[in-house]
Amino acid sequence: MNSFVQYAGPELATINELLLAEVERLDPVVQPLVRYVLEAGGKRLRPFLVLLTARAFGHTGEGAYPLACAMEFLHSATLLHDDIVDGADLRRDQATAHTLFGHTRTILAGDILLALANRLVADYDIPRLNGAMAEGIYRTAAGEILEISHLRNPGLGLGEYLDIVTGKTACLMAAACRCGALLAGAGDALVERAAGFGLNLGIAFQLVDDALDYSSCRAVAGKPVGADLREGKLTLPLILYFESLDAARRARLGEGFRNASLGGEEMDAIVAEVNELGLDRKTRDVAREYLDRAAEDLAAFPESRETAVLRDTLEFLHRREK
């Protein structure tokens, strides 16, 4: 069994208990919604990154748990708002919160979770934690905005795509690792290594996610295959696909993508072609490059059980099928 899973198993119960204990203090009007989101699954990757990084740098005791919870609440808050923004009906094969609870409660639940995360971090009274958190929140929101601003833009380049991925996903993971290292009192150079590890891991994580969106069967991914294409998001598999076409076809499909005028069968055909051309695998190859960079950052960590688990986590993320 993968050491990440082995390590995570016993921790998961603690984290979930603490998350739900915080939720019980919220107003009853948002509790069912927040519980729904938290119980919809999720790997609790961000809390684990906080715990593992803090412990890798010598932090002991229970003190890292509120910080770990803060990162999960922050992540949940972004999911709630993003699902409205994306008009997504499904996440992990379940109806998204806003389709069940409406926009009003979903917006408010996102706001209160963000506020709760802020408060949990502020309670540490460590200025640099607040700074790292504020930067993480800011860049996550900016990444989401960047993605929306390029919606249905068939001319999106690799650099801009990576900016979006970095903002919307990787910066929060970087913040999780940075905060873990700061909490443990690691020196500046190691804090930067920890943040770099989280950033590169986060980019790889999103790249694999974007590959899965094309390659995975719906039952495994918990959402429809090709959802990104349907939502007008140009991710790496589709960027590579457009690059593989001759100019005339690229222009025609690009226009269809821009105008949201591609038919259902046409989109199914594109998804099939992306797979036939192995572009999901190529996307995973790019993810591999970022995992290698993450491994380089990890090499600067002191050796420990947690450092070994983080190393295994990189493999786990690369191979994941959901």
Positions touching a second copy (CB under 8 A) are: 26-30, 81, 84-85, 103-105, 107-108, 111-112, 114-116, 118-119, 121-123, 125-128, 130-131, 133-135, 137-138, 140-142, 144-146, 148-149
State the nearest-atom distance from the C-beta of 199 to a second copy, in Å: 18
Cα 155 → chain centroid: 24
- Closer of 137 and 291 to a second copy (Cβ): 137
Nearest-CA neighbor of 86 among 258, 235, 231?
Answer: 231
Closest approach of Cβ 118 to a second copy, in Å?
4
CB of 122 to a second copy, least distance (A): 4
Torsion of CA 119, 43, 174, 320, to 10 degrees: -170
CA distance readout (Å), 86 to 4, 81, 203 = 31, 9, 20
Assess contact for 172 and 253: CB atoms under 8 A.
Answer: no
Cα separation, 163 vs 180, whole angstroms:
24
Min dist CB 32 to a second copy, Å, is: 12
Q: Which is nearer to a second copy, 68 or 133 (CB)?
A: 133
Identity of the residue, 123 or 321, whose beta carbon is nearer to a second copy in the bound complex: 123
Whichever of 67 and 146 has its CB closer to a second copy, that residue is: 146
Q: If we measure between CA atoms, which residue out of 313, 79, 277, 55 comes closest to residue 184? A: 55
Least Cβ distance, residue 126 to a second copy (angstroms)? 7
User: Which residue, 110 or 237, has its beta carbon nearer to a second copy?
Assistant: 110
